[in-house]
Amino acid sequence: MDTKTEKAWVKLVEETILELLQDMDGILKITNRMSWIFYIGNWIARRKLKKSYEYYNRMLWLPILHKNICDFKFIRRDPLKSVHRSQRKQMFSSQATTTNDDGILILGSSVAWKMKVHIEVIHNETIKPSSPTPHHLRHYKLSFLDQISPPVFMPLVLFYPKEDCTNLTNSSEQSNRIKKSLSDALTRFYPLAGRVKSNLYIDCNDEGVYYVEANVDCQLHEFLEDPIPAELNKFLPCALDDGNELPAIVQVTLFSCGGIAVGLGISHKVADGLSFFVFLNTWAAIARGDSDIASPRLDSAKLFPPKALTGFEPRTGIVKENIVAKRFVFDASAIAALRAKYTDNTSIEHATRPTRIEALSAFIWSRFMASTQPKSDPNKIYTVLHAINLRTRLDPPLPNNYFGNISRIAISVPSMDADNRCSDIVNQVRNSIRDVNVDYVKKLQESEGHLNFMKERAASISKGEVVPFSFTSLCRFPIYEADFGWGKPVWVGSARLTFKNLVTFFDTNSGNGIEAWVNLKEKDMAKFERDEEFLTLNRLKKSVSETLTNFYPLAGRVKDNSFINCNDEGVHYFEAQAKCQISQVIQQPEPAQLNKLLPYELDNVGELVLAIQVNVFDCGGIAIGVCISHKVADALSLAMFLNSWAATARGVSNTICPRFDLATLFPPRNISGFKPSTGIMDKIVTKRFVFNASMIAALKAKYIDNASVECKRCPTRIEALSAFIWSRFVAATTQGKLDPERLYTVLHAVNLRTRMDPPLSECYFGNISRFSIATPCMDSKGECHGLVNQMRDAIKTIDGEYVKKLQEGNGHLNFMKERAEKITKGDVLSFSFTSLCRFPLYETNFGWGKPLWIGSCSLTFKNLVVFMNTASGNGIEAWVNLKEADMATFEGDEELLAFATPTRY
């Protein structure tokens, strides 16, 4: 940026601050540095200065704004808290750490700049049917259900990236395909090319569909980073409440990158949501060149004959006051938590679990009531409405291609308990939907009762006696199947509607989550979106992003085994559905199957530092799988990150701040000739053996040092289990006879923090551990009574002097090289133990309680045992990793089975 431009931006910032100081609303928003930054950024966006988004995105005025905008593929740390230049490279303290991931299983977003766009219309016309409509079809009667439907457009905007349009040479060819296929589709759906007359019929005069082509001054990915619902209205050719005569409207918008948005509006006067998608996907199929296309049924007026609507106005509910639309995304884990929250457990044998839509409806309505209606007015009736497809409720059922409004509203009057938690709303909604049955439809067809009810209800709403809250779901509809020949849409959105208290549900593009498009009055939205319980629901992704601000190296990428480029590329975050009950996993956990709950193979690390997978079970339970590269962290560092993340999710503000200056204590070295991946193998079998408290006590007694009668030395739990497992491994795999030509070693991971002088704080992050090495001997009975003392003595040598030598010279590196060579040749057989017992893993509470169980998985090292506390804390689980042949003999050892309970499959 040149000096002139820089001065202009400095001046702009000064002007911004002056104007903000004159804006009381703005002053209230500037409560901390983050809010200040948000507000300035949004204000500058509203100034619509040339290339303002580009300047914002490229961080041309430091340090107020940070360059990274949210990328939905990754979870990034908070983009407004920039990394100081001295922190851009996080040096490794030692490059000798292995590069596989530590996997841990716990059972139990970044902020993006909201972009406004400028649309330039370049062409408009009307698209007529490719074949004229026959004269005898000129008048298309509206059904009774059409008559009472509001004359507003139902909007949908489909976004297609450029890379999916490679079979078309240019935008003109795309436009021609869209127009020609639309013209052909209108021959089948001829009422959409006509004009609505007097709320009685459509004059199918082939006047055509209003069609607009436009350009937008941004790239598709920029707009999709965090789309504003009101901005999507610009991708439609007219206002949504301008649908008096027009049945349908279309706008095709071309992005500067070559991406396309197809905006479609169909008047609710002539169609419901299912009919909308029948038309849309027929149109797309014609564009693709499909030949086997079903034609719509256009005789709904025979099923629901029109009536005289004297005294009823279909526009009731359409408001001109300022309606604000916001889009809230519920991921799979949040939905699972809500389904569990609203499960009816009054019957232990038959617990009734709500559907996704029932759970979300109950939650959103309860939060709306709690935030905007803290005290219910006894003179008002609060109702919850759900749109219901009648096609499946007729006798006989109608096919999906029956076109028109063949849907009605189920109405429930929910009750609130003392805590405003709507404990019974799911059952009330379900019962109201159940009442929309065959008998209901017959009455709807035959009598005037429904019309009279609609008149009375409209009057009550107008007087304020009834407060309705409506839900309509487009989930499970073929919303992402509209392929015009250049691929399916990358995202589909709605727009800001003209009804207050209306929520539309969409599937996310992955199909796992749900987007809730909420339309409220401005003052109600201001309260609703600040509701504390509402905001904490999607706490996992938001809190990991916030945690990465403190643990910033975890969002970077490892480079050349020398440093981490702290470039905020982000953490890979996955959501998955586990097609089983969580109890099935916990009752008989199989280590190899638990790897499926992790995002990657443990030896497939590459440059990644951290990856997370959230798994949702059929019962609503959640398993959080976390992989952190051993290249950058030891087990204590992993536990530190997990508990900091969980504390952030709970809303705790004073979380631990990690120290990342380990490379100053253990400077990196040239490690040429040493491979950190030595020991990583294929076809390792992992089994889990559980030692209860009584068996551990027996083993401690077994290995007690009786050398001194006066001062008997009792081994720790880990010492006793290590000696026992090692002895049973030797007995099972060597028949108790050690090879005199081979060196046998027993290794224990030792935390160096407490052994340095002075000791380090536990907040030091990284690999601050080494292995103590003991060379055990076997007695005549194949036991290892002396091993406890040998292990203890080996651990004692890991002291301040040991650490100083580790810091100062190359002796340890030379030892590692020699040892790796001997292991490779088979001259040394190592057996390693690492203990996670006493680590605060079971304290990891994300806000919905502590984990039910924590497990490891199948690792990639042979002869490795990981100790973990049982859920009760009294026992210990030993996760044993051996070669397949060794495991076959080890797990059958009779003495082992006398003390340990193995996992059976």
Q: pLDDT tens digits for 551-560? A: 999 999 988 8
DSSP 72: T
User: Residue 510: phi, psi to the nearest 5?
Assistant: -80, -20
Where residue 124 sits, what CATH number does that domain have? 3.30.559.10
> Is there a contact between 656 and 644 (Cβ–Cβ < 8 Å)?
yes
Q: How far is CA 108 from CA 352, 621, 700, 843, in A?
A: 20, 6, 32, 12
User: Residue 887: phi, psi to the nearest 5?
Assistant: -65, -35
> Do 653 and 720 reside in the same domain of the chain?
no
Tokens 């904490």 belong to residue? 536
What is the structure's pLDDT at 62?
A: 25
Q: Is residue 428 part of a domain?
A: yes
- Least confidently predicted of 283-297, 472-486, 547-561, 779-793: 779-793
Tokens 């009101």 belong to residue? 230
Mean pLDDT value of segment 448-464: 72
> Do 523 and 574 reside in the same domain of the chain?
no
The token pair that represents 35 in the structure block: 């809010």
What is the structure's pLDDT at 152?
A: 92
The token pair that represents 789 in the structure block: 């003392």
User: With 50 as the cut, is the pLDDT of residue 879 above it?
Assistant: yes
Q: In what order do the strands lie in the sheet with 514-521?
A: 323-330, 514-521, 502-507, 466-473, 381-389, 407-412
Q: Is residue 80 part of a domain?
A: no
Q: Is residue 553 part of a domain?
A: yes
**Residue of 78, 102, 483, 886 marked catalytic:** 483
Final residue before a domain boundary, out of 665, 699, 718: 665
Mean pLDDT value of segment 264-284: 96
Tokens 């590692």 belong to residue? 816
Q: Is residue 374 part of a domain?
A: yes
Mean pLDDT value of segment 246-268: 95
* Dihedral over Cα of 733, 737, 739, 744: its sign: positive
User: With 80 as the cut, is the pLDDT of residue 55 above it?
Assistant: no
DSSP 129: P
Number of C-beta neighbours around residue 240 at 10 A: 21
Mean pLDDT value of segment 754-767: 90
Active site residue 268: yes
Mean pLDDT value of segment 808-826: 68
Final residue before a domain boundary, out of 665, 694, 725: 665
163-171 contacts at long range (C-beta below 8 A, 24 or more positions apart): 164/486, 164/487, 164/488, 164/490, 165/258, 165/260, 165/486, 165/487, 166/486, 167/485, 167/486, 168/485, 168/486, 171/254, 171/258, 171/260
> Do 157 and 187 reside in the same domain of the chain?
yes
What is the structure's pLDDT at 12?
A: 57
Q: Is residue 73 part of a domain?
A: no
What is the structure's pLDDT at 347?
A: 55
> Do 429 and 489 reside in the same domain of the chain?
yes
Q: Is residue 313 part of a domain?
A: no
Mean pLDDT value of segment 297-301: 94
> Is there a contact between 280 and 482 (Cβ–Cβ < 8 Å)?
yes
**Residue of 78, 101, 102, 268 marked catalytic:** 268
Q: How many domains does the chain have?
A: 5
> Is there a contact between 223 and 53 (Cβ–Cβ < 8 Å)?
no
Q: Is residue 312 part of a domain?
A: no
> Do 510 and 547 reside in the same domain of the chain?
no
Tell me if residue 573 falls in helix, strand or coil: strand
Q: How far is CA 355 from CA 350, 476, 478, 627, in A?
A: 15, 12, 19, 32
Q: How far apart are CA 115 and CA 110, in angstroms?
A: 15
- Least confidently predicted of 450-459, 537-546, 642-651, 783-792: 450-459
> Do 520 and 618 reside in the same domain of the chain?
no
Q: Is residue 847 part of a domain?
A: yes
Angle at which helices 800-808 and 811-825 cross, to 10°: 90
> Do 160 and 24 reside in the same domain of the chain?
no
> Do 600 and 534 reside in the same domain of the chain?
no
What is the structure's pLDDT at 780?
A: 47
Strand partners, 471: 386, 503
Query: Which residue range forms the structural domain that includes residue 424?
Result: 323-344+354-538
> Do 148 and 270 reside in the same domain of the chain?
yes
> Do 552 and 514 reside in the same domain of the chain?
no
Query: What is the average pLDDT value for the chain, to the nearest integer?
Result: 80
248-254 and 209-216 as β-strands: parallel, antiparallel, unpaired? parallel
Task: Give start and end residues of each alpha helix (H) in 252-331.
Answer: 273-288, 300-303
> Do 533 and 566 reside in the same domain of the chain?
no
Task: Give start and end residues of each alpha helix (H) in 691-786.
Answer: 693-702, 717-734
Rounded to an integer, what is the distance from CA 610 to the centroid of its chain?
Answer: 16
Final residue before a domain boundary, out of 665, 692, 716: 665
- Least confidently predicted of 450-464, 516-530, 658-672: 450-464
> Do 642 and 692 reside in the same domain of the chain?
no
